[in-house]
Amino acid sequence: MKKNLRVIRELIKIRFHNLMVFRLDFFSPFFVDGSLFLVQLLVFRVVYSNVDAIGSWGRGEVILYIGTFSLLNAVSMSVCFFGLLGIQDKVLSGEMDLYLTKPVSPLLRLTFEQVNPGSVPLILMSLCIIAYGAKVSRLQIGPESLLAYGFWLLVMEILYYEMEVLMRAVSFYVISNARLIQLEDASLDLCMKLPGIAFYGVYKLVFYMILPYGIMATLPVQRLVGEMSWRLGLWGISVVAVFTVLTYVVWTRGIRRYNSASS
Amino acid sequence: MCKYREIARVFLKSQMAWRADVAFNMIFTVSRIVFASLLWGIIFAGKDVVAGFTFHGMLSYYIISAFLYQLEMSDGISGEVCARIRNGTFSKYMILPVSIEGYFTAMEAGVALFYLGFDLAAALIWVFIFRIEFVLTADVTIWLCSLCMILLGLFFMVQLNYYLGILTLKYQGIDTFLMIKRHFVELVTGSIIPLALFPEAVVRVMKLLPFYYVTYLPSMLLTGKLAGEAISGLGILAAWCALMQALIRLTWSRYSRKYDGVGI
């Protein structure tokens, strides 16, 4: 554990040195993703100027949803997204050899080697959106609700991370996972725009179970607004547990299958 | 003209090499329809009409706008021009015996022609699967106006993306701007939600911008709405195309000498 922390600290230090070389690109992720979520806010503001509610959710709940999704995305962008992004290329080119020969877990190194401090303002922006959403929905948030919300955020951040790893770990088994990444992009794009409460039938099956992007921001918000039943909570925990096992199996078996540049 | 026709033909043919892309391009048009169907399904559960749209009218709008959005593939032009200027290989286009902008326009025409049939097939499949009572105008004049507007809109987007690409000659790194642009263009062309939902003052401003006429107005015209704006829309969009052409010429003549072919 102590060794891993030292490795993480060193990786962050090296990353900062690299980022200082390309200063102009430093805040790119903030501007790009910030604009994406601002557009989302604008879209729902316009929708709510024409309707009173979407299902059981008013404007405040949807703002909370957008803020929560933005926060999950921002944390991932700040910590691991850019590191995990390169997994496929590293597998195809054989560069993964370098990661396997180091005395540290390859996934740990991939997770932390491209931390992006330029995305940190996005976390602050997301927190502002969440605070605004709470104000609009006139929520009385006690410490217990806040703690539970924090817990669900953490659980869903783990799920978000696992989905990112899983989608890219498939490249150990196939020549190209480009279509899977396209599917991930399309699903994320849909679930960023649409709260999970809008899903039903086969859509619910897909986005609550198979590609669980639909529960990622929905569950924390439902807990915060007091809409979460114990069944839903249990479902959320079960999904995360199943995906944790799945990610572990796919990753470890993938590493074993890896045959350097001929993979 | 022959040369441009040949470029379009080459790009049309070369799409055959990317069959999986074609299939997935078709499949992923569904994400917009699913979004519309779920969002508006839940909203229309308690209402019959929202901003002048019925549920099936709204879905028809999304089918047409998703079709047009998918057909408009010029986004890659700005990225291509930007990347090639940055790495010094833009010379590839400069030595061609055709205008560079014309080359990209012909390329876009070839690609769009290839995808036209597939995107149309995808739209029909989604209408059938989602059981949409498709609303489509029968007015021939409106059809003609819409087709002209769609073509002008596609051309304007090529111009815009080419213009943004050559701005790399001055600003060197515009990737971040291009990504931000993508998000806002999606909003102001009415691809996420119909612009009719925006407050009237905002719509009035948007009518002065070209994006209103790229996806939104043709989709509305084809679903039998806003027929009165068809002719004026064509005029405004044509004016924007002319303005953009002048801007491209001015920018190119001013900054093309900055390109030294060795990359940034």
Query: pLDDT > 70: what percent of chain A?
Result: 97
Mean pLDDT comparison of A112-116, A131-135, A256-260, highest-scoring range: A131-135
| Both tokens assigned to A98 | 């370098």
Q: How far apart are CA A139 and CA A141, in angstroms?
A: 6
Query: pLDDT > 90: what percent of chain A?
Result: 59
Q: What is the pLDDT along chain B (264 residues), one digit of tens a residue?
A: 788 899 999 988 888 777 777 777 777 778 888 888 998 988 888 788 888 899 999 999 999 998 998 888 888 899 999 989 888 888 888 888 999 999 999 999 998 998 888 888 888 888 998 888 888 899 999 999 999 999 999 999 999 999 999 998 888 778 888 888 888 999 999 999 999 999 999 999 999 999 999 999 999 999 999 999 999 999 999 999 999 999 999 999 998 888 877 766
Of B28, B51, B179, the CB nearest to A186: B28
Q: Does residue A161 have a pLDDT over 90?
A: yes
Residues 160-199 of B with CB under 8 A from A: 173, 175-176, 179-180, 183-184, 186-187, 192-193, 197-199
Residue carrying structure tokens 């304007």: B156
Q: Which residues of B touch A61 (CB under 8 A)?
A: none
Q: Note the pTM of the prediction, 2 decimals.
A: 0.88
Q: Which DSSP category does A200 fall into? A: -
SS3 per residue for chain B: CHHHHHHHHHHHHHHHHHHHHHHHHHHHHHHHHHHHHHHHHHHHCCCCCECCECHHHHHHHHHHHHHHHHHCCCHHHHHHHHHHHHHCCCHHHHCCCCCHHHHHHHHHHHHHHHHHHHHHHHHHHHHHHCCCCCCCCCCHHHHHHHHHHHHHHHHHHHHHHHHHHHCHHHHCCCHHHHHHHHHHHHHHCCCCCCHHHCCHHHHHHHCCCHHHHCCHHHHHHHCCCCHHHHHHHHHHHHHHHHHHHHHHHHHHHHHHHHCCCCCC
The C-alpha of B202 sits at a distance from chain A's nearest C-alpha, in angstroms, of 11
Of B46, B179, B187, the CB nearest to A43: B187
CA distances from residue A191 to A55, A185, B38, B60, B132 in whole angstroms, order as listed: 16, 10, 11, 22, 23
Position A148 scores a pLDDT of 95
Position B254 scores a pLDDT of 92
Scanning every residue of chain A, which has its alpha carbon at the shortest distance from the alpha carbon of B176? Answer: A28
Per the CB < 8 A criterion, the answer to whether A95 and A89 are in contact is yes
| Both tokens assigned to B114 | 């290839």
Position A22 scores a pLDDT of 59
Position A21 scores a pLDDT of 64
Q: What is the torsion angle, in degrees rounded to the nearest 10, for the CA atoms of residue B194, residue B199, residue B200 and residue B202?
A: -80
Burial of residue A22, with CB atoms counted within 10 A of its CB: 0-12 exposed, 13-18 middle, 19 or more buried: exposed
Which residue, among A167, A162, A169, A163, has the nearest Cα to A254 in the 3D structure?
A: A169
Q: Does residue A262 have a pLDDT over 60?
A: no
Position B227 scores a pLDDT of 92
Beta carbons of B197 and A49 less than 8 Å apart = yes
CA distances from residue B262 to A259, B135, B172 in whole angstroms, order as listed: 38, 54, 13
Beta carbons of B176 and A28 less than 8 Å apart = yes
Position A25 scores a pLDDT of 66
Scanning every residue of chain B, which has its alpha carbon at the shortest distance from the alpha carbon of A33? Answer: B180
Position B228 scores a pLDDT of 92
Q: How far apart are CA A152 and CA A148, in angstroms?
A: 6
Q: What is the torsion angle, in degrees rounded to the nearest 10, for the CA atoms of residue B90, residue A182, residue B41 and residue B226?
A: 10
Q: Which residues of A touch B51 (CB under 8 A)?
A: 50
| pLDDT tier for residue A114 given thresholds of 50, 70 and 90 | confident
| Both tokens assigned to A76 | 């991932």
Average model confidence (pLDDT) across chain A: 89
CA distances from residue B149 to B143, B154, B185 in whole angstroms, order as listed: 10, 8, 17
What are the pLDDT digits (tens) for A11-52? 888 777 777 665 556 778 888 888 988 999 999 999 998 888
Secondary structure of residue A255 in the 3-state scheme: helix
What are the pLDDT digits (tens) for A171-190? 999 887 888 888 899 899 89
